[in-house]
Each structure stands twice: as structure tokens, then as C-alpha cells.
């Protein structure tokens, strides 16, 4: 579910989580199956999140990974975008960004 108070509130988002044979020493691969308008998640569902890459730790649980993804939906990171145009819009025209994110949530996640 999209986090309460966020532009994704009320949306139902599906994720794929794939564990490699090296898990938990390598991070799981997590991708969005539901389309989302977000500067850190591209059209293939790839998520730009440090704990899924270089900052992975075997001590991290799937619950913590999912909590971090929810946090990313509440507070995106336009300084490290996968979709530069959405990051630029977020920084320069927040109202339009939020309108588009809500529209995509309504269209694809409800």
C-alpha cells in the first residue's frame, strides 16, 4: 500500500523479490511490477536504493528492505535518480510532479 500522506496513498503496489543463492550475503533483487511515477524507480520497475546495492548488509531483513522502500515512496531522492526528468520536475515543479504521481497511482495501482 502507498504510505499514508504520500502521493501514493491508497495505491496497491506489487513487487517481485528474487533471492540469489548467495543471499543473505548479496541483496535480493526487488522490482516494482506495478507502474509508478517516481524518480528512483524506472519503467522496468528497477529501484535505486542504496541498501539494495553497495550498502547491503546480511543483517538487513526483508521487512527492513520493504520499510526502506515505503520510506522512499514518502521521501524520494532526486539527488540520485533513475529517471532524471521526474527528478527535475520534483525539484522545479512539485505541484505538477505530485499531480502526475497521484494520477499514475489512480490509473495503475487501484
List residues with catalytic annotation.
48
46: which strand partners? 31
d(C-alpha 40, C-alpha 89), whole Å: 13
CA atoms within 13 A on the CB side of 47: 27
Q: Show the cell assigned to 74.
A: 514518502
As to burial, measured by CB atoms within 10 angstroms (0-12 exposed, 13-18 middle, 19+ buried), residue 105 is: buried
Q: Are 103 and 10 in contact (CB under 8 A)?
A: no
Amino acid at each position: 500500500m502507498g504510505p499514508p500522506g504520500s502521493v501514493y496513498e491508497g495505491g496497491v503496489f506489487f513487487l517481485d523479490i528474487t533471492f540469489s543463492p548467495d543471499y543473505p550475503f548479496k541483496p535480493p533483487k526487488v522490482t516494482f511490477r506495478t507502474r509508478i511515477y517516481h524518480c528512483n524507480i524506472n519503467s522496468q520497475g528497477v529501484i535505486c536504493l542504496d541498501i539494495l546495492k553497495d550498502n547491503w548488509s546480511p543483517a538487513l531483513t526483508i521487512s527492513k528492505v520493504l520499510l526502506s522502500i515505503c520510506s522512499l515512496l514518502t521521501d524520494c531522492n532526486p539527488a540520485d535518480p533513475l529517471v532524471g526528468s521526474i527528478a527535475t520536475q520534483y525539484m522545479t515543479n512539485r505541484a505538477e510532479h505530485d499531480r502526475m504521481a497521484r494520477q499514475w497511482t489512480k490509473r495503475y495501482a487501484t
